[in-house]
């Protein structure tokens, strides 16, 4: 990996959103990916910065794994997901020799790469830059926030599942946002019930409503619930555009609603 230097910048980026969760596996990368697709669906240009260095799953979710980033005079060019270049992605997944290579790095090396991602990637004009983070509140989060803050005010989208333990972890994320001055755009409750594709009855496999209750209690916006949806799992595995292909699925209206909430809350009138 070659350092490019302090050339790229974020001056053309409208809003930066960090997607956070206290726990692994609650659907952070899923929400980051689907929000990007849902925002593109309404005409927005979106970049995704995948700083989940040890588990970069977004290249596969968008079917661009194995692609290479290249360099131009002004820095690293992200990978474009579609022909009209409305979604671009930068991930450590593109810098590994083999997609399954493990990143076994100590904190300082990870922090250095995050800083480089932030200073050197030439994003161009974007309405939103979505930053998918690792679970928890680690060095990588502090590094990400400190490196991004000089460019723009930062918003946070917190993802939880309905169970108490995950919701408890989000409480710690809220404290992190407060301490680091991130504006909480809102909480998303993911895996919130399972809608049977045959009879359309919703079964709450886990409990339901924890995310909404936590948002009310903490005085932050609740953006919505995304149900467990087998078509969404399949789309992510196959790198298909769920928003485009499955508008009748149970998760589609939920994701579209959350994207609209984000648009409302980041518009000059909404903020």
Asked if 137 is part of the footprint of ligand ATP (rule: CB under 6 A), the reply reads: no
**Spatial contact of 132 and 52, defined as CB atoms under 8 Å apart:** yes
The reply, when asked if residue 196 is annotated as ligand binding, is yes
The alpha carbon torsion through 22, 155, 80, 138 (nearest 10 deg) reads -30
Kindly determine how many residues on this chain lie close enough to bind ligand ATP according to the rule CB under 6 A.
21
The Cα 46–Cα 121 span in angstroms is 14
Asked if 166 is part of the footprint of ligand ATP (rule: CB under 6 A), the reply reads: no
Asked if 204 is part of the footprint of ligand ATP (rule: CB under 6 A), the reply reads: no
Among 83-91, 122-130, 221-229, 240-248, the segment contacting ligand ATP (CB under 6 A)? 221-229
The Cα 136–Cα 123 span in angstroms is 26
**Spatial contact of 30 and 190, defined as CB atoms under 8 Å apart:** yes
The reply, when asked if residue 239 is annotated as ligand binding, is no
Residue closer to ligand ATP, measured from CB, 122 or 235 = 235
Asked if 62 is part of the footprint of ligand ATP (rule: CB under 6 A), the reply reads: no
| One residue of 8, 50, 51, 57 binding ligand ATP per CB under 6 A | 57
Residues making up the binding site for [4Fe-4S] cluster = 196, 199
Using CB under 6 A as the criterion, which residues of the chain lie in contact with ligand ATP when the complex forms?
A: 21, 24-30, 52, 55, 57, 135, 190-191, 226, 228-229, 232-233, 236, 251
Residues making up the binding site = 22-29, 196, 199
């Amino acid at each position: 990996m070659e350092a490019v230097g302090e050339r790229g910048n974020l001056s053309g980026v409208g809003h930066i959103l960090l997607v956070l969760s206290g726990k692994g596996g609650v659907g952070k990368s899923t929400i980051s990916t689907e929000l990007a697709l849902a925002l593109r669906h309404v005409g927005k240009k979106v970049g995704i910065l995948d700083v989940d260095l040890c588990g970069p799953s977004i290249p596969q979710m968008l079917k661009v794994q194995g692609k290479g980033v290249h360099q131009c005079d002004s820095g690293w060019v992200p990978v474009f997901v579609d022909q009209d270049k409305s979604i671009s992605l930068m991930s450590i997944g593109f810098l590994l020799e083999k997609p399954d290579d493990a990143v076994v790095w100590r904190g300082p090396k990870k922090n250095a790469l995050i800083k480089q991602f932030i200073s050197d990637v030439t994003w161009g004009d974007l309405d939103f830059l979505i930053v998918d983070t690792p679970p928890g509140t680690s060095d990588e989060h502090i590094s990400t926030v400190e490196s991004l803050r000089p460019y723009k005010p930062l918003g946070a989208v917190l993802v939880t599942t309905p169970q108490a333990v995950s919701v408890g972890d989000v409480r710690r994320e809220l404290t992190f946002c407060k301490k680091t001055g991130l504006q909480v755009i809102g909480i998303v409750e993911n895996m919130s019930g399972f809608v049977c594709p045959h009879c359309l009855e919703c079964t709450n496999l886990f409990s339901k409503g924890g995310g909404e209750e936590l948002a009310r209690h903490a005085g932050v916006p609740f953006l919505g619930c995304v149900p467990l949806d087998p078509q969404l799992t399949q789309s992510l595995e196959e790198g298909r555009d769920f928003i485009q292909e499955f508008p009748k699925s149970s998760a589609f209206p939920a994701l579209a609603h959350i994207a609209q909430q984000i648009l409302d809350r980041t518009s000059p009138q909404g903020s």
